[in-house]
Amino acid sequence: AQSVTQLDSQVPVFEEAPVELRCNYSSSVSVYLFWYVQYPNQGLQLLLKYLSGSTLVKGINGFEAEFNKSQTSFHLRKPSVHISDTAEYFCAVGRSTGGFKTIFGAGTRLFVKA
């Protein structure tokens, strides 16, 4: 079974400041890792994903994440945030075999202040 922990429930940050949203996971099998963003009353949008290869993954809207196998982490970063980045961010872990069951972390609310 796999699990995923998002260490911060809320992250307030000023506009144009850098931000890091933390995600740790555990799994007994190989996994894929994802970050999704959800704006109010909307579905989920994929920001980026790690399937294999380079551990530094670049996504949309200037976000990037680094897969660290030894620390079982997949933290999301952005060097300079905008007001429009205010949203809920979910880290997800999916099995790479056997049905691809994917579970989500509890979410981190990013709040960008002017």
Residues binding another protein (CB under 8 A): 32, 34, 36, 41-46, 49, 51, 90, 92, 94-96, 99-107
Q: Least Å distance between CB 102 and another protein?
A: 6
Burial 81-98 (b: 16+ CB within 10 A, else e): beeebbbbbbbbbbbeee
**Nearest residue (CB) to another protein, 75 versus 90:** 90
**Nearest residue (CB) to another protein, 1 versus 114:** 1
Backbone angles phi, psi at 113, to 5 degrees: -105, 145
Backbone angles phi, psi at 76, to 5 degrees: -100, 135
**Nearest residue (CB) to another protein, 36 versus 85:** 36
- Copy the structure tokens of residue 24: 């740790």
Q: Least Å distance between CB 49 and another protein?
A: 6
Q: Least Å distance between CB 21 and another protein?
A: 14
Rounded CA-CA distance 100/55 in Å is 20
